Amino acid sequence: MIVIAAAVSGALIGGYTAHKRDGNRLDIAQYATGYALAFVVVGLIITVLIDRILSA
């Protein structure tokens, strides 16, 4: 669940960032994808850490 929320929030932040920098549609899509992937990696690490802490 954390990973999905991170992907959605990353895509929104990336799209907003590209839009704010006056990017066209492809720029917005690329920023949204890049931010979503970066946020997914961070969300996955957080999920694994939470799982390891709670199962110890």
Kindly give the confidence (pLDDT) of every residue in the chain, 56 residues in length, as a single tens digit, with 9 standing for 90 and above.
Answer: 999 999 999 999 999 999 999 999 999 999 999 999 999 999 999 999 999 999 97
**pLDDT the model gives residue 56:** 75
In sequence order, what are the residues at sequence separation of 6 or more whose Cβ sits closer than 8 angstroms to the Cβ of residue 43?
Answer: 2, 3, 5, 6, 7
Q: How many Å apart are CA 33 and CA 13, to the nearest integer?
A: 10
Q: What is the C-alpha to C-alpha distance for residues 46 and 4, in angstroms, rounded to an integer?
A: 12
Per the document, the length of the chain is: 56
Q: What is the per-residue pLDDT for 45?
A: 97
Where does the chain have alpha helices with state H?
Answer: 2-20, 25-55
Q: Which residue has the tokens 């957080």?
A: 46
Q: What is the pLDDT of residue 8?
A: 98
